[in-house]
Amino acid sequence: MFTEHAKVMKALAAAGEIVGRKKLQKMIYIAKKLQFPFYEKFDFHFYGPYSEELTCRVEELCDLGFLHEVKEKKGGYFQYRYTLTEAGKQFLNHYDIKMPHLQECMQDMNEQNSRFLELVSTVLYFEHLTKEEVKEKVFLLKSKQRYTEEEIEQAYAYIEKLRAKVKNEVRA
């Protein structure tokens, strides 16, 4: 019970602090695509894969005092920072969740900016298509973001890098 909540907390604990709701959404989506057992359902929205379920879960965790949310004004919009609280750390002690290499992956993703993670998650969303088709999708659906071919190549390379991290653990 509350295992799915605990997994989200575990991901946050692994990352340390996550700045931005978009970043949090994309990090969990990418982790899910890397086969970490997150079961929140994602749909494609304006900013790429988005999960209403994850949004609600994070709200619940804030409500319960397990996550600390700081709202700060940034330019024309609000930005949110998330960290695990002491109560959250205690709550997590009730669970023995094993997600090998999650920490490395979350920390690595946390060092990337949310624009890049939006691209990575979009590439992963369409990964059943050929690379050319994926590029076409990115240019069509993300025209306002003006991603370049080079950035898309970087996204592919980054996905490979993350997958290698996960595979290493499987071998070990």
Q: Which residues bind another protein (CB under 8 A)?
A: 1-2, 4-5, 20-23, 25-26, 39, 41, 43-47, 50, 52-53, 55-57, 59-60, 62-65, 77-80, 87, 90-91, 94, 114, 126, 137, 140-141
As a whole number of angstroms, the distance between CA 171 and CA 78 comes to 43
For residue 72, give the amino acid letter: E
- Which of 26/101 has CB closer to another protein? 26
Please report how close the Cβ of residue 160 comes to another protein at its closest, in angstroms. 24
Please report how close the Cβ of residue 44 comes to another protein at its closest, in angstroms. 5
As a whole number of angstroms, the distance between CA 3 and CA 95 comes to 8
Tell me the chain's radius of gyration from C-alpha atoms: 16
Nearest to 57 by CA among 8, 128, 116, 20: 8
Please report how close the Cβ of residue 142 comes to another protein at its closest, in angstroms. 11
DSSP 8-state class, residue 141: H
In DSSP terms, which residues pair with 79 in a beta bridge? 72
- Which of 25/102 has CB closer to another protein? 25
- Which of 126/156 has CB closer to another protein? 126
Please report how close the Cβ of residue 131 comes to another protein at its closest, in angstroms. 17
Please report how close the Cβ of residue 172 comes to another protein at its closest, in angstroms. 26
Hey, what are 142's tokens?
């993300």
Q: Are 57 and 42 in contact (CB under 8 A)?
A: no
Tokens 């959250």 locate to 88
- Which of 76/111 has CB closer to another protein? 76
- Which of 141/163 has CB closer to another protein? 141
